[in-house]
C-alpha cells in the first residue's frame, strides 16, 4: 500500500519527545522527510537518531524570531519547500488566579501563541499551494482546569488564529486545522508529578475520561496524519479533539 506522505517535506516543531516525536515518527513511516525542532539539543539529537535518515534536526526556540529564521533558512537551502507544517512546540505551567506571575504569562504566550504565529508566518514562502498546516491545541481551550487558566487561554488563542488564517490563505488552498489532544501519557504530563505520584496522576486523569484511560502519543499522531494528508482534503479550520471524549461531557 502506498505511503500517504510519500515524497512530502514536513516540519514538526517541538518534536524531541512526546506527541511531537510520535507525529514525526508517523510522518517518516508514511514516506515524508521530516524536519524536527526542539530547544534541548541532547534530546533533539536522540530523537533524530530514533527517526533515522529521513529526519533532520534543527535546534530552534520557537519563541525567538531569529531562531525561526535560521530554521527556515535551513529548510529552504536543503529542501526548498514544505508540504506539511505541524506547529507543535508549546509549554505550560500551573498557577491559580492570585498567583499568576508576569514571567509565567510571558513564557506561556511567547512559546504557545507568539511562537505558533511566527512559525506559520515565516513558513509561508516555503509552503506549497495546497499545503496542510496543523496547530496543536488542547482540550483546555473549551474546558476549565484548576490553576491552568493561562495555558488554556493560550490554546484558545490558537483556535482563534486558525479560524482567521483559513480566510487569509483562501487563495492558496492551504488548509489550517487544530489538533486538540486530551490527557496523553507523555514525559511532559507525567513530569508534572514526582516519580512516586505519577501513576496516581494518570489514574486521576483516566477517571475523568469516558474511555477510562489516558491517550498514547501514537493515537494523537494518527489524527495528525489524517489532518496532514489528502485524506482530509475538505477538512479546514476545525478543532479535532483526540481526547477519549473528556471535552465532550
* Enzyme catalytic residues: 151
- How far is it, in rounded angstroms, from Cα 93 to Cα 209? 22
47 neighbors 57 (Cβ within 8 angstroms): yes
- How far is it, in rounded angstroms, from Cα 102 to Cα 120? 26
Which residues sit opposite 175 in a β-bridge?
A: 132
Q: How many degrees, rounded to 5, is the angle at CA 238 between CA 151 and CA 87? A: 50
Q: How many degrees, rounded to 5, is the angle at CA 197 between CA 191 and CA 199? A: 85
CA nearest neighbour of 126 among 81, 83, 70: 81
Neighbours of 61 (CB within 10 A): 18
Amino acid at each position: 500500500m502506498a505511503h500517504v506522505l510519500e515524497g512530502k517535506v514536513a516540519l514538526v516543531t517541538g518534536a524531541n519527545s512526546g506527541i511531537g516525536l510520535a507525529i514525526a515518527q508517523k510522518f517518516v513511516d508514511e514516506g515524508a522527510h521530516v524536519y524536527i525542532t526542539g530547544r534541548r539539543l541532547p534530546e533533539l539529537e536522540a530523537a533524530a537518531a530514533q527517526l533515522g535518515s529521513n529526519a533532520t534536526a534543527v535546534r530552534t526556540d520557537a519563541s525567538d524570531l531569529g531562531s525561526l529564521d535560521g530554521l527556515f533558512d535551513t529548510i529552504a537551502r536543503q529542501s526548498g519547500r514544505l508540504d506539511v507544517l505541524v506547529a507543535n512546540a508549546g509549554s505550560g505551567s500551573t498557577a491559580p488566579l492570585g498567583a499568576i506571575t508576569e514571567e509565567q504569562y510571558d513564557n506561556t504566550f511567547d512559546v504557545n501563541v507568539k511562537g505558533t504565529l511566527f512559525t506559520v508566518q515565516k513558513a509561508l514562502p516555503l509552503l506549497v499551494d495546497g499545503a496542510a498546516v496543523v496547530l496543536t491545541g488542547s482540550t483546555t481551550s473549551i474546558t476549565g482546569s484548576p490553576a491552568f487558566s493561562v495555558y488554556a487561554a493560550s490554546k484558545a488563542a490558537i483556535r482563534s488564529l486558525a479560524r482567521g488564517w483559513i480566510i487569509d490563505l483562501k487563495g492558496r488552498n492551504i488548509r489550517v486545522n487544530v489538533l486538540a489532544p486530551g490527557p496523553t501519557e507523555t514525559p511532559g504530563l507525567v513530569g508534572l508529578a514526582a516519580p512516586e505520584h505519577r501513576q496516581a496522576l494518570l489514574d486521576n486523569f483516566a477517571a475523568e475520561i469516558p474511555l477510562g484511560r489516558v491517550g498514547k502519543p501514537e493515537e494523537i499522531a494518527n489524527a495528525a496524519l489524517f489532518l496532514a494528508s489528502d485524506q482530509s482534503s475538505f477538512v479546514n479550520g476545525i478543532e479535532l479533539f483526540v481526547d477519549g471524549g473528556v471535552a465532550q461531557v
